[in-house]
Amino acid sequence: MDYNKPKASQATSKPSANIFIGVSKTGVIMMENRQVDIERVTANVERMLAEAPEAAVLIQADKDTQHGLVVKVLDQVKAAGIDKISVSAGND
């Protein structure tokens, strides 16, 4: 039996809809492979959110990072209007 199957078309890849923020045990905050001051986190998240409105934020903090700094980063992200936030602790 012969039949025509649809041909697979090449899928277009969308850029990642996630915003990654790294926090080292020494307090260095990284976004898009560059160091960011805590005061600039909100502005950077707002800019990235304009490019990907459905974005979620993942904060990757070293297990030895001071909790207060992680809370400050969370506050900055919330100030940008993001509700979807995940926090992960791991080694630097």
- Asked if the structure places residue 6 within a domain, the reply is no
CATH assignment of the domain containing 46:
3.30.420.270
* Sign of the Cα pseudo-torsion (26, 27, 30, 34, in order): negative
Its pTM stands at 0.78
- Asked if the structure places residue 9 within a domain, the reply is no
- What's the pLDDT at 89? 85
- Asked if the structure places residue 26 within a domain, the reply is yes
| Nearest alpha carbon to residue 68 among 27, 13, 17 | 27
| Structural domains of the chain, count | 1
**Helices and strands (H, E) in the chain, number of each type:** 2, 5
Q: Are 69 and 41 in contact (CB under 8 A)?
A: no
- Asked if the structure places residue 2 within a domain, the reply is no
Per residue in 53-74, pLDDT (tens digit) is 999 999 999 999 999 999 999 9
- Asked if the structure places residue 4 within a domain, the reply is no
Structural domain range at position 83: 18-90
- Asked if the structure places residue 83 within a domain, the reply is yes
